[in-house]
Structures are given as structure tokens and as C-alpha cells.
A and B are shown apart, each in its own frame.
Chain A
Amino acid sequence: MSQASIATAQPTAAGYRTGGLHSLMRRRSTIAFLMCLPLLIIILGLVLYPAVYSMWLSMLNRRMTAFVGLNNFTFLLSRDTFQMVVMQSVFFAVTAVVLKAVIGFVLAHLMHNIPSGQQRIWRGLLLVPWVIPLAMSTLGWWWLFDPSYSAINWALTGIGLDPVPWLGATWWARISVILVNTWYGAPFFLIMYLAALKSVPEQLYEAAAIDGASAVQKLIYVTLPMMRNIISITVLFSLIITFANFDIVRILTNGGPQDQTHLFATYAFQVGIQSGDIPLGAAVSLFMFPLLAVFAYFTLRGVTQRSKEQM
């Protein structure tokens, strides 16, 4: 639709070129707006509208016949299960993101150490977890954790350790989901950090070396400040994705044992879709929003301030 209108608008725009700058500008902005229209429809119709609609939904009763205000939210907050979901989501996201960030940072430095001709093949191997669709690799992990024939437990008993109830005991299940998430997400950090490391000018290290800086000092006073923006952006992206994760918990534990590993997404799915309480499910999802929004606000503010200072 919009494409057709662009096609018709275009010859007139060309014809008006001599007809004064003002009308040209007006034409140009019209075309520009039409080109953005599909994007605008997606953002307004399929993101912003559902978000507002979600708030409305969350204030209805279970059968969606009456307005109940904030009852769903207060109900959720009074439930032990939901308090546990909040705690577990925060614990899961923070632990997994810290682990991913540290592993990614170490890996990026290791990669930076080796000759650049070799980096391609290693990067190719290290990025595999990020490329396999998460639901598929989680199934693979599930089979590794299988209670009766766990390949990991077989290896553990082989070296004289006790088998681990990976998905059967609360804390082991929590560790398992974090392990899988770390496995999946660490390559992303590696790629981002490696790109950042390569962009640090070599002269800075030379200058630091002349001033007699040790390797640790170079890391703290040269590398980290130069990478700060990328680190914050990567952590922000990853924290949002991790916090909102659905695939891993849904497939590995489905929230169990005894709802102890539920995250916001899986709990909202169970309450909203499986038990059919749409308003309550919407309320569960919405709890994610303020937590993410506050974090995103402060991160992005820091990033824009720093980029302004650099300019």
C-alpha cells in the first residue's frame, strides 16, 4: 500500500524540484513519513498498543467481565509462589549475567592474545552455542541432565564423584538453568568485548607502557574505561534477555521442583495461557516492566553522558 503511494509520489517530487525549496522539503518529508509507515504501524500497533492493552487486561477479573483495579497485583504480591518467582528471576538474571560477563571478558582477552590469523577458527567454535536455536540446545541439555541416564553423572562417577540430581533438587535445578543460560549467552559477550578490545587504539597501551604501567594497571586504566560503553550496553541487552527468558526454564524444569525455578515468563505462561487466567498472567508479565525500565534508564543515561563527554 505505502509502496504504491511512494511510487506515485516520486515523479511529482522530481517535477517540483524547480518549484521552490519549500515544496520540495514538504514532498520529501511526506515520502519519508510514508516510508516509515510500516515501521510505525508495527511499533504502535504491535508493541505499544499491546503494552497498554496489557495494563488494561491486568486490571480485569479472571473471566474478564469486571474491572478490579489493582487487585491482581496485590493478590500476586501476597502469594508465596509469586514472591519466590520475583526472587528467583532476580537471582537467575543477576547470577547468569555476571557469569556470562566474566566468562566473555576472559575469553575476549584470551582471543586477543592469540595471533589474529588463528582467531577466526576459535571464534567459530566458541560461537556455536549462540547459533543453535535455544529451544533445541536446551533439549540437548535436558538429555545430559536426564535423571536415570545422565551423561554428566556418568562422567562424574567415572572420576569418583557422587551423581548430582540436576533437575530434581531445588538448588541443583536453579544451578542447572543458570548453567545452561551461561553456556548459551557467554559467546555473545565474547563477540561484543572482542570488538571493543580491537577498537582500543594501540597508542594508549604504548603510552601506558612508557609510563611503566603493569598489565593490571593497563586493564584498569586503559581497557576498562575504553570499553565501558560497550560493557554497559551488552550487560543491558543480556540482562533484559536473561530476565525475560522463557525457553530454558520451560523445557528443562517447567518451573519445578515445586515451582521453585519459575521465572516471570514461565510463570506468566503457566498462569495466563495454561490455567487460562489471562488478566493474572498479564499482571505477572507487567511486573517485569518497572524492573527493566529502571535499569535501562540508568544504563542508557550513563552511556549517552559518556558519549557526550567524549565528543
Chain B
Amino acid sequence: MSVTTADARTVARRPFGGSLHRQRMWALYGSYAALIVFVIFFLIPPFHMFITSFKTSAEVSSMTGNPWIVRNPTLSNYVELLTAPNFQLFFWNSAKIAVCVVALTMVISILAAFSLARMRFWGSTVLATGVFLTYLVPESLLFIPMFQITGALGLINNTWSMLLLFPTLSVPFCTWIMIGYFASIPKELDEAALIDGAGWMQMLLKIFIPVAMPGIIAATIFAFTVAWGAFLYPMAFLYSADQMVLTVGIVSELIRADVFQWGKIMAGCLMAAAPPVIIYAFLMDYYIAGLTAGATKG
């Protein structure tokens, strides 16, 4: 039976040998062509933002000619923003919140993930499921009660209130992917550590954290991008310019002027997008590993 099928295949293959190769080549060229179309579609907005950010206000407001090229390139938009005190303040606010949220998230989620992955206790499986379900709760479902709660705590229009809110977005996902990474560490390693007399904390610090470093990097990147790019909470909770973070600062302060200074807005947007994009450029593999790990473990 197997002999006959093998024979049939070689017989069938032979006359098509050349065209099959050609077919493959065409499929490859076709794939490249289609990918180029998609890449153009995906990169049009950033490209146009980039072009606009080098235009003078006069060039933008004249509204004539090809909008896809820049005739008198200038760095003045960037310079003006970088020297503007309120833009510096937005940047600083974003940075301090993002760093604190990342630190807080990682401490909470590594501790919890270690305990959920290795040290079973009453209700730990329920809690693990709860972590996953919490991740599914979108922020727009809870921002109104949160508004009341932060109001009651006297933290409305205070940048630090974000430290209370952003972990609700970052901790569940980070814990979830850390559980996955910790669970994949072989049990023999912790048995060896226990025999050598290591405590739980030593085990976590000396074995689990070093071994699960890729997961930790992925979770850190995720926490940072969430804290950096969040928009709904800052938009609803921060309304005076000195408390704003970058996203809201750009949307509400730069646009408030009567004439939209598009060159400046686009320069601000690109500078706000720079930190996540730079991190992503250097750590793309971790970023992608984190994204996929979160879902495939579901």
C-alpha cells in the first residue's frame, strides 16, 4: 500500500517538477507584493505625522500643494516643545508614573505569580482564574465608579491617582503571563533548592527570577506601554495642566489653541510615541513573546 502511494507520488510529481518550482516563486513574489501593500497602509499615518512635524506653521496653514512632502523642513516644532515648560512637565509626569507603575506591578505580580504557580493554598486556583477574568474587564466599564472613589479619596486631578488606577490594567495581565513562565520551570529545580536549604524567598530570588527573565522583561514592557499610553483614566481624572500626563496633555493642551498648530501637535505625538517605539525596536522578541504567552496560556 505504502509502496504504491510512494510510486504514485513520484510519477505524479515528475511532469510538474518545473512548474511547481515556478508556482512557489510566484507565491513568494505575491506574498512580498501583498506585504508591501499592507506595510504602506500601516505606515502611512506615522509617515505623515513625521512629515508634518517638520513643517512650519505657515506651510501647514497655507493648505496648498502636496501635503505628503515638506518644502522648508524645520526643527522649530521640536525645539519649541522641548523648551516649553508644560510639555516638559507632561513628559516628567508620564515618566514618573510609568516608572512607579512598572515597579509596583512587577513586585505585585511576581510575588503573586510565584505563589500561585508553586505554593498552592486554599483558593489559589480560584484566584488564578480571577486574575484572568480581571484582565478581561475593560477600563471603560469601571471609570465612573473609580471617579467617585478617587474623588472620595481626594485624589481627583492629582497625577499620583494614576498610581492607584493603572495597576488595575497592568497587574492582571502581568501576573497571568508570569504564572505561565513560572509554571514552565521544572519542579526539579525547586526541589534541589529545598534540599540545599533555601527558603521560599531565596528560591524566588535566586532561581525563579533569573530563569524567568524573558517573561519578566516581557511583563515589564507590557506594564510600561499600558502606563505610558493610557488615555481614558487621565482624560477623565486630570484636568489642570500641571497634573496632566503626556497623552492627555497633547490632546487637550496643544489642541486648545484657536488655530491648530499641526506641526507642533505631530511633533509632540511622535515624541510621546518614542519611548515605547524605542523599547520595542530593541526588545521586539520579548514584546511579542509576552503578547502571545498571555493568550496561548488561556
Contact = CB atoms under 8 A, between A and B. Distances in A.
A6 B114 CA distance: 13
Contact of B147 (A127, A191, A273): A273
Given A148-B63, A233-B298, A42 B277 contact: no
A39 B109 contact: yes
Contact of A50 (B66, B149, B197): B149
A140 to B, nearest CB: 4
A278 B39 contact: no
Given A28-B119, A36-B111, A140-B49, A124 B284 contact: yes
Given A14-B197, A133-B231, 11 more contacts: A6-B201, A10-B200, A46-B165, A110-B34, A124-B284, A127-B284, A128-B43, A131-B280, A188-B291, A247-B231, A285-B143
Contacts of B168: 42, 46-47
Contacts of A126: 35, 38-39, 42
A36 B116 contact: yes
Contacts of B164: 46
B229 A273 contact: no
B232 interface: yes
Interface of A: 2-3, 6-7, 10-11, 13-14, 28-33, 35-36, 38-40, 42-43, 46-47, 49-51, 53-54, 57, 103, 106-107, 110-111, 113-114, 120, 122-129, 131-137, 139-141, 143-144, 146, 148-149, 151, 154-155, 183, 186-188, 191-192, 195-196, 199, 210, 229-230, 233-234, 236-237, 240-241, 243-247, 250-251, 264-265, 268-269, 272-273, 278, 281-282, 285-286, 288-289, 292, 296, 300, 303
20 contacts: A28-B121, A39-B175, A43-B172, A47-B142, A50-B145, A107-B35, A120-B284, A122-B35, A127-B284, A131-B225, A132-B46, A132-B276, A135-B250, A139-B250, A151-B67, A191-B292, A195-B296, A268-B144, A288-B138, A289-B141
A149 B67 contact: yes
Contact of A134 (B63, B124, B229): B229
Most buried by A among B27, B115, B122: B115
A210 B9 contact: yes
Nearest to A286: B141
Interface residues of B, number: 97
The B contact surface, by secondary structure, is helix
B144 A39 contact: no
Contact of B232 (A107, A122, A188, A246): A246
B144 A32 contact: no
A210 B68 contact: no
Q: Which of B9, B112, B168 has the most CB of A within 10 A?
A: B112
Contacts of B144: 54, 57, 268, 272-273, 278, 281-282, 285
Interface stretch (B80-88, B184-192, B266-274): B266-274
Contacts, number: 294
B4 interface: no
B281 to A, nearest CB: 8
Chain A binding surface SS class: helix
A39 B139 contact: no
Contacts of B130: 43
B148 interface: yes
Interface string B32-62: 1011001101111110110010000000100
Contacts of B66: 154
A53 B47 CA distance: 45
Contact of B167 (A42, A134, A278): A42
